[in-house]
Amino acid sequence: MVGGTRGIGLALVRHLLDLGNHFVSVIGRTPNASVESSMLSQYAVDVTDQTALLSSLDLSTQRYGPVSTVVFFQRHRSGPDGFDTAMAVALGATRRTIDHLVARNSFASGGGSNSIVLVSSIADRYVAPEQPLDYHVAKAGLSQLARYYALKLGPIGIRVNCVSPCVVAKDEALEFYNKNQWLVDRCRAFIPLGRMGRPKDIVNAIMFLAGAESSYITGQNIVVDGGLTLRSHESLLRDIPRTE
């Protein structure tokens, strides 16, 4: 996977290692020292460095053999002047990784189970003012990139899909939510399933798209938001408590 050293990506790494039947490679800027396993390789790579990125992909396939699933989590958390870098991290690195693995015939033969999963966001279609412009454009680009590659790679047996989370209480953010109970309460009130998302919820969706159960699904974007985006915005406004 590209990214995967924190948040949902780290949760997926731990889940796969717990299963005990998956070799896992993680490419990211800073390896996470909290996870170690003989079935895990971590590569410290700036994914905007094309040579380093492609080299790490080759090292991974040399060590573990053909790839069955690739999951993309990477994100550049930039300042106001980091738009170009954010695009290079989210979109450029994704494109180069996919193109390189396909060109090298790195996916397992036989098709069926080969899967690419891009982690996008509901910000690919809605605007979240607390997030910068590059986040929105990158997520929208990932969703369209998934559709493009699904069409292009389908004939060679590779499926490409997106997962788009909404509010997820990641481990790194638990202290923030503990200090802002009002936000947790609002999530319970406005999300139809009555709670914030957990990393495990997103991991489950990714595992579904990576597995044989989804063997006839490609080019799709599964929204994992507890039903929040089902309601009209006007309806949500009516439920906000009055301040009078």
The one catalytic residue in 43, 64, 135, 216 is 135
Instruction: Based on the residue annotation, tell me whether 149 is a catalytic residue of this protein.
Output: no
CB-based contact 2:97 (threshold 8 Å)? yes
* Residues 94, 110: Cα–Cα separation, whole Å: 23
Query: CA–CA distance from 94 to each of 71, 117, 218 (Å)?
Result: 10, 11, 17
Distance CA 85, CA 113 (A): 33
Beta-carbon contacts of residue 74 (< 8 Å; ≥ 6 apart)? 2, 3, 28, 47, 89, 90, 93, 94
Q: Residue 109 in 3-state DSSP?
A: coil
Question: 45 forms bridges with which residues in the sheet?
Answer: none
Q: Is 201 exposed, middle or buried (0-12, 13-18, 19+ CB in 10 A)?
A: buried
User: How far apart are the C-alpha atoms of 67 and 98, rounded to whole Å?
Assistant: 11
Q: Of 117, 112, 137, which Cα lies nearest the Cα of 127? A: 137
Distance CA 148, CA 171 (A): 33
Q: Record the tokens describing residue 209, joined without a space.
A: 């798209």
In the block, tokens 């899967």 appear at 115
Active site members: 135
